Chains A and B, each alone.
Chain A
């Protein structure tokens, strides 16, 4: 079975703190893709990153970084020097197979306080 678990339901930090959002996935496929999406209070879903199962290189984009570890089936997301605008719900998702269907985690609500 395919499954994505985001064990952290809610996280609250103070601005400028670093924060890591955890994502653990389960799949038997050898080829799969992992995603992170951001859902700000306005409600839209914003794509952040896609990672292929055969590419374990970590990625950094500004204050955002992602750590992909196949050995632990994890794809964690770190925000460095958090800002109030980072307050949102963050979803991790898994896709495998040719239909493109996504399996989402339950989401982590991040609150960044000024």
Chain B
């Protein structure tokens, strides 16, 4: 158990509405990640963070934004949800290695199932 929680766990929303997903960790890890899981694609990285207020894009970042104002929380926002963003969203952490680089394994939260109607 890497001390990662995600909220909400399930959400149904309508096209065009804003949605924010929250990832919370309790172990002060520097690196945090948001992935989405879709059939036939495995997991794909949306955004990641390497510290408070330090974030960068992943391979499928269009339509998503993130914020990290505290070490323990990493928020993923869909400014205007679309049906193509229906997916399962996973947050992950990577423990800190020497020099601050993530050298260890990524551990995942339980996931959030988002349905956009």
Contacts and interface: CB of A to CB of B under 8 A. Distances in A.
A91 B110 contact: no
Q: How large is the interface on B (under 10, 10 to 19, 20 to 34, 35 or more residues)?
A: 20 to 34
A37 B42 CA distance: 11
A28 B48 CA distance: 22
26 contacts: A6-B42, A35-B105, A35-B106, A43-B111, A44-B108, A50-B104, A50-B105, A91-B42, A93-B43, A95-B106, A98-B101, A99-B31, A99-B48, A100-B48, A100-B102, A100-B106, A101-B45, A102-B33, A102-B35, A102-B43, A102-B45, A102-B92, A102-B106, A104-B42, A104-B44, A107-B42
Interface of B: 31, 33, 35, 40-45, 48, 50, 56, 58, 88, 90, 92, 94, 101-102, 104-108, 110-111
